[in-house]
A and B are shown apart, each in its own frame.
Chain A
Amino acid sequence: MTPQSPPRIDASVHVFFKDGADLRRHLREPFRSRGFPDPDVAWYSRPGPKYAEGTDGPDGSHPGSDPALVGRQVLDERGFDYAVLHPMSVAGILPDWHLGTALYAATNQMLAERWLESGPYADRFRGTVRVNPNDVEGAVREIERWRDHPRMVQIGLPVQTQAPYGRPYFKPLWRAACDAGMPVAFHLEMGVGITHPPTPSGPTRTYSHHAAYQPMTYIWHLLNMIAEGVFQEFPDLRVIWADGAGDMVTPFTWRMDTFGRPHLEQTPWAPRMPSDYLRDHIYFVHGLLDGPGEAEYASEWLRMTGKEDMVMFGSSYPDWQTASPQDLPSGWSARQRAKVLGGTAAGLFGIDRLVPA
Chain B
Amino acid sequence: MTIDLQHATRTAANEKAAEKEQVRVVDCDVHPVPKRGELEPFIPEPFRGLFAQRAERAGEMIYYDAPDYAHAYAMRTDTFPEDGNFAGSDPNLTFRQLIMDAGSDIAILGPTNGSSGQTAEELHALAVATNRWQDACWLDPVNNWHQRFYGSIVAAMEAPEAAAREIEHWAGHPRFCQVLINAEMRPAWGDPRYDPVWRAATRHGIPVACHLGRGRFNELPMSPVGFMTYNHDLMVSYSMLAANQIMSLIFDGVFDRFPDLRIVLIEHAFSWILPLMWRMDAMYKAQGPENGLKRKPSEYVKDHIWFTTQPLDYPEDKLELTNALEWMEADRLLLFSSDYPHWTFDDPAYIVKHIPRRMREKIMFGNALDLFGLPGQVPALAGQKRVF
Contact = CB atoms under 8 A, between A and B. Distances in A.
Interface of A: 46-48, 159-167, 195-209, 211-214, 216-217, 219-221, 223-224, 226-228, 245, 247-248, 250-260, 262-263, 265-267, 275, 288-293, 295, 297, 300-301, 304-305, 321
B272 A252 contact: yes
Contact of B290 (A47, A256, A290): A47
B256 to A, nearest CB: 13
B187 A263 contact: no
Interface in B194-244: 221-233, 235-237, 239-241, 243-244
Given A47-B290, A247-B275, A200 B240 contact: yes
Interface stretch (B4-12, B307-315, B359-367): B307-315
Contact of A259 (B235, B315, B327): B235
Interface in B267-319: 269, 271-272, 274-280, 282-284, 286-287, 290-291, 311-316
Contacts of A248: 272, 275-276
A330 to B, nearest CB: 15
A258 to B, nearest CB: 4
Contact of A220 (B184, B187, B224, B315): B224
B232 A255 contact: no
B340 interface: no
Counting contact residues on chain B (CB < 8 A from A), the size range is: 35 or more
A291 B278 contact: yes
The 6 closest A-B pairs by CB, nearest first: A291-B278, A200-B221, A201-B188, A263-B232, A251-B271, A163-B226
Given A223-B232, A250-B315, A293-B282, 19 more contacts: A159-B225, A160-B224, A164-B228, A164-B233, A166-B233, A204-B247, A209-B252, A212-B283, A216-B243, A220-B225, A224-B229, A226-B233, A247-B279, A251-B272, A252-B236, A255-B271, A256-B233, A259-B236, A291-B274
B245 A201 contact: yes
24 contacts: A164-B227, A200-B223, A201-B186, A201-B244, A202-B188, A205-B191, A212-B247, A213-B244, A217-B223, A220-B237, A223-B237, A227-B233, A245-B275, A245-B279, A251-B271, A251-B274, A254-B314, A258-B311, A258-B312, A259-B235, A265-B67, A291-B275, A292-B327, A293-B278
A166 B67 contact: no
Nearest to B228: A224
Contact of B232 (A227, A252, A253): A227
Contacts, number: 231
Given A163-B227, A196-B225, A251-B313, A201 B282 contact: no
B240 A219 contact: yes
Interface string B172-197: 00000000000011111111000000
B116 interface: no
Interface string B12-34: 00000000000000000000000
Contacts of A258: 311-314
A202 B313 contact: no
Contacts of A205: 187-188, 190-191, 248, 251-252
B370 interface: no
A264 to B, nearest CB: 8
A267 B231 CA distance: 11
Nearest to A248: B275
A251 B287 contact: no
B222 A263 contact: no
Of residues A162, A166, A248, A305, which shows the largest number of chain B Cβ atoms within 10 Å of its Cβ? A248
Given A202-B186, A263-B67, A290-B279, A164 B290 contact: no
Contacts of B272: 248, 251-252, 255
A257 to B, nearest CB: 8
